[in-house]
């Protein structure tokens, strides 16, 4: 392994820009790849060099493994950073990068492969006496055996795709009579989504928290945990709000979960940054899976530890030792992140597309926006609908919640519907404020959210005329300032 002097970022959007900013801080040159849809994107302008990688569809651009590696070689790159999503957890891509004589900024292909399959991950960590959710921890080939197992552990049970993620290939079964039909649906969806129809079953915990542990591991066997993130506010098994630390963990449980996460990393000889996900209920935690990449919600960990996780990834990829130990790490204050997505929370969080007509981000001490958009940018159909991540840090959870609400009030996005109204509602909800919530939060309170806006809609045709907008969205107008700083009467 040599010293990394130039990195190609095999990704797009806010995470590409995020990685590049750390590279610049470390005096590392950056190379961007971009599709037709991203020609004007800020991450492309920021990079030292840029390569047009193909048409807008990701399977013809950001997923083109061989062309990405060829481009890296042509541009004399030392390493490739995959970001998250796309090829970040593709062990074959990681191996190709290494075979080409380049550094893959991430774990080994073997670790990615082992942890990328939920069943193989469970088998690997089971040797280390890490708690697992009761169930059938092998691919279901015998429906009668699966049914007997389900009856033994008791309904409701959860059918899960072995190769899955994002809630695909996942079905909750409440009664025996639903089992066969839901099994068929899960297998079918898993095959369509992942090319792998393998599924397994486990006990469905009805009121769990989703708590994950951030770990760092160097190539010399040193592993540390950077405490936890609570990601329990989700829709369709995808996160909406994340915070660190969790409001429900005692110091004893925090230590136990952190040490368990380190064991998971050691079980597959892991190196790099990774996240071990657990579900937590009734003071018990159970291993869920390991994400072998940087997480979307990594900024909250950075806020409470003062560490730059991308910098640590690069240090580890450079074959350097971690320069701190577990005892050096302390939790400093509280951090919250909301994902700002172009989705309509009034219509089952369906993705929205369009041109961002007005865009102003909040600023201030302890307020961070990770984005890669601008006024006039198009939110297209080709990629994930996340526009940005809004993160705050304060001395306490109460202060962080209020700071986030203030930041949302000063975040202006017009032209597409966003998740900001729901995030503000959630932060104001008594159950969120007192920490009494679980992964059912969105389903339990979505109707209350919709009803809460019935008397608060603001319509301002004059403002619409100023911005030459054909249609005014009542919900988003509530987040427009009365006198925008950058409005032009033209």
User: Would you please indicate which residues are annotated as catalytic (active-site) residues?
Assistant: 293
For 83-178, where are the alpha helices, taking DSSP H only? 91-99, 109-116, 118-126, 143-153
**Which residues have C-beta within 8 Å of that of residue 294, sequence separation ≥ 6?**
15, 83, 84, 88, 273, 309, 310, 313
> Helix crossing, 13-25 with 309-317: angle to 10°?
70
Q: Which DSSP symbol is given to 132?
A: B
Angle 274-279-282 from CA coordinates, rounded to 5°:
145
CB 275 within 8 A of CB 239: no
Alpha carbon distance 109, 354 (integer Å)? 38
**Which residues have C-beta within 8 Å of that of residue 286, sequence separation ≥ 6?**
131, 132, 133, 205, 278, 279, 280
Alpha carbon distance 289, 210 (integer Å)? 11
Alpha carbon distance 139, 165 (integer Å)? 16
Alpha carbon distance 343, 146 (integer Å)? 37
**Which residues have C-beta within 8 Å of that of residue 88, sequence separation ≥ 6?**
11, 82, 106, 292, 293, 294
- How far is the CA of 434 from the CAs of 240, 429, 438, in angstroms? 18, 9, 12
Select from 414, 415, 413, 437 the least CA-distant residue to 425. Answer: 437
Angle 468-372-168 from CA coordinates, rounded to 5°:
105
Select from 437, 445, 117, 434 the least CA-distant residue to 280. Answer: 437
Print burial letters for 205-222: b (CB count within 10 Å at least 16), e (below 16). beebbbbbbbbbbbbeeb
CB atoms within 10 A of CB 17: 23
Alpha carbon distance 12, 18 (integer Å)? 10
């Amino acid at each position: 392994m040599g010293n990394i002097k130039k990195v190609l970022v095999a990704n797009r959007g806010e995470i590409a820009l995020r990685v590049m900013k750390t590279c610049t801080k470390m005096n590392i040159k950056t190379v961007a790849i971009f599709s037709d849809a991203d020609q004007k994107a800020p991450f492309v302008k920021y990079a030292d060099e840029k390569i047009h990688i193909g048409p807008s569809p990701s399977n013809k651009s950001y997923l083109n493994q061989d062309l990405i590696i060829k481009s890296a070689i042509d541009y004399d790159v030392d390493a490739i950073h995959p970001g998250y999503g796309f090829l970040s957890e593709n062990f074959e891509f990681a191996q190709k990068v290494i075979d080409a004589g380049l550094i893959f900024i991430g774990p080994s292909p073997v670790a990615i492969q082992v942890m990328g399959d939920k069943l193989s991950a469970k088998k690997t960590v089971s040797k280390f006496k890490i708690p697992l959710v009761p169930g059938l921890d092998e691919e279901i080939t015998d429906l009668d055996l699966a049914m007997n197992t389900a009856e033994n552990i008791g309904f409701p049970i959860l059918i899960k795709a072995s190769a899955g993620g994002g809630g695909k290939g996942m079905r909750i079964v409440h009664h025996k009579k639903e089992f066969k039909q839901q099994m068929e649906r899960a297998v079918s969806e898993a095959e369509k989504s992942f090319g792998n129809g393998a599924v397994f079953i486990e006990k469905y915990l009805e009121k769990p928290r989703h708590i994950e542990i951030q770990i760092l591991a160097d190539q010399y066997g040193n592993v540390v945990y950077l405490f936890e993130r609570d990601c329990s506010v989700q829709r369709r098994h995808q996160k909406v709000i994340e915070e660190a630390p969790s409001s429900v963990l005692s110091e004893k449980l925090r230590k136990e979960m952190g040490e368990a996460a380190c064991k998971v990393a050691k079980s597959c000889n892991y190196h790099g940054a990774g996240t071990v996900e657990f579900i937590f209920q009734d003071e018990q935690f159970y291993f869920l899976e390991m994400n072998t990449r940087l997480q979307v919600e990594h900024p909250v960990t950075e806020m409470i530890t003062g560490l730059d996780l991308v910098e640590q990834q690069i240090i580890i990829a450079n074959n350097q030792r971690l320069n701190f130990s577990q005892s050096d790490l302390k939790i400093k204050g509280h951090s919250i992140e909301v994902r700002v997505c172009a989705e309509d929370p009034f219509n089952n969080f369906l993705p929205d597309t369009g041109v961002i007509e007005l865009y102003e981000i909040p600023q201030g001490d302890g307020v961070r926006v990770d984005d890669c958009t601008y006024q006039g940018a198009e939110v297209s159909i080709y990629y994930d609908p996340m526009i940005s991540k809004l993160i705050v840090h304060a001395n306490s959870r109460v202060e962080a919640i209020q700071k986030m609400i203030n930041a949302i009030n000063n975040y202006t996005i017009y032209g597409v519907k966003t998740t900001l109204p729901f995030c503000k509602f959630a932060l104001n909800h008594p159950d969120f404020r007192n920490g009494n919530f679980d992964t059912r939060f969105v389903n339990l309170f979505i109707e209350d959210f919709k009803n809460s806006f019935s008397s608060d809609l603001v319509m301002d045709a004059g403002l619409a005329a100023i911005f030459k907008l054909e249609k005014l969205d009542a919900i988003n107008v509530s987040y427009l300032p009365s006198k925008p700083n950058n409005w032009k009467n033209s």
